[in-house]
Structure 1
Amino acid sequence: MRSWLDEMQMSTSVDTASVRAAYEDVRSDSTDTQWAVFKFDGARITCVDTGSDFDKFKEHFSENERAFGYMRIQTGDEMSKRQKFIFITWIGPSVNILQRAKMSTDKAVMKNIVSNFAAELQLDQISEIDLKYFIEELNKAGGANYGTGVREN
């Protein structure tokens, strides 16, 4: 039986097919998929779910695990709407120090596939998994909004 230390010492791999398919699904304009969640199955990262309901996305992150999220969010003002993407690294507050330390290299492995995003966040509190916060971060990354606040009909 392997211990958690044995698993930590194994190099991380990625289920490339499931991760790439989910990534492309979120990026596609022809599907309703707004997000994907990637988690560890031992030392292998795989896509565990995709969807469009933000509450279901949020349910995937718990205090004692590490995960990644990728999300499509519509931003802009009344003058122009655009799709932006955000990459999330989740390290729950109860994750041990060795697993925390390993996330920087695990994130680099993920970014070989999940490579196109306007903002990147590393979160460690459930309260930070908030759609308004994500939109604010994407707006900061996207520069100025030039709208007047009023849409002409």
Structure 2
Amino acid sequence: MAALKRTVDLSSEEIQQAWQDVRSDAAETNWVLLTYGDNGEIILCGKGSGGLNEMRKKLKDNQIYVGVIRVRAVDDYGSQRAKFVYINYVGVAV
């Protein structure tokens, strides 16, 4: 694995679109997963609408990942809000 960069570049269209999708109330997307490419750059590993179970299928033991899952929170009065869960995963073989 290449040396990791100190700056993070999330400007690729693919990453930007995935982030917009996971944040959108209109989109089905409820998770996005990023990892490091061969040159140490941040790349989109996947996105989907199947929640944590679907995201987990993308994880490999020899990689580092950063992910976000969108969940729906309901309070005692029935008000619903989107909440975002940040996930940092370091595989056991890293």
Smaller-chain TM-score bracket: 0.7 to 0.9
Does the alignment pair 1:57 with 2:51? no
* SS of alignment partner, residue 89 of structure 1: strand
Deviations 1:46-74 (A, max 9, x none): 11211111222111112221011111100
- Preserved contact between residue 35 and residue 51 of structure 1 (Cα < 8 Å): yes
- Separation of aligned partners in 1, 2:17 and 2:73: 24
The percentage of aligned residue pairs carrying the same residue is: 25
- As a proportion of its length, which structure holds more helix? 1
- Separation of aligned partners in 2, 1:28 and 1:57: 18
Gaps in structure 1 of 5+ consecutive residues: 96-153
- Separation of aligned partners in 1, 2:49 and 2:5: 32
- Once the two structures are superposed, the pairs formed by residues 76-95 of structure 1 within 5 Å of their partners are 76-77=74-75, 79=77, 80-95=79-94
- Preserved contact between residue 14 and residue 46 of structure 1 (Cα < 8 Å): no
What TM-score, normalized to structure 2?
0.81
- Separation of aligned partners in 1, 2:70 and 2:5: 29
Deviations 1:85-128 (A, max 9, x none): 11111111221xxxxxxxxxxxxxxxxxxxxxxxxxxxxxxxxx
Does the alignment pair 1:16 with 2:7? no
| Higher radius of gyration, 1 or 2 | 1
Q: Which residue of 2 aligns with 1:48?
A: 45
What code does the residue aligned with 2:9 have?
V
What code does the residue aligned with 2:42 have?
I
Q: Which residue of 2 aligns with 1:114?
A: none
- As a proportion of its length, which structure holds more strand? 2
What code does the residue aligned with 2:54 have?
K
What TM-score, normalized to structure 1?
0.52
Count of residues in Structure 1 that have an aligned counterpart in Structure 2:
89
Note the aligned Cα RMSD (angstroms). 1.8
What code does the residue aligned with 1:73 have?
V
- Preserved contact between residue 15 and residue 44 of structure 1 (Cα < 8 Å): no
Gaps in structure 2 of 5+ consecutive residues: none
What code does the residue aligned with 1:52 have?
S
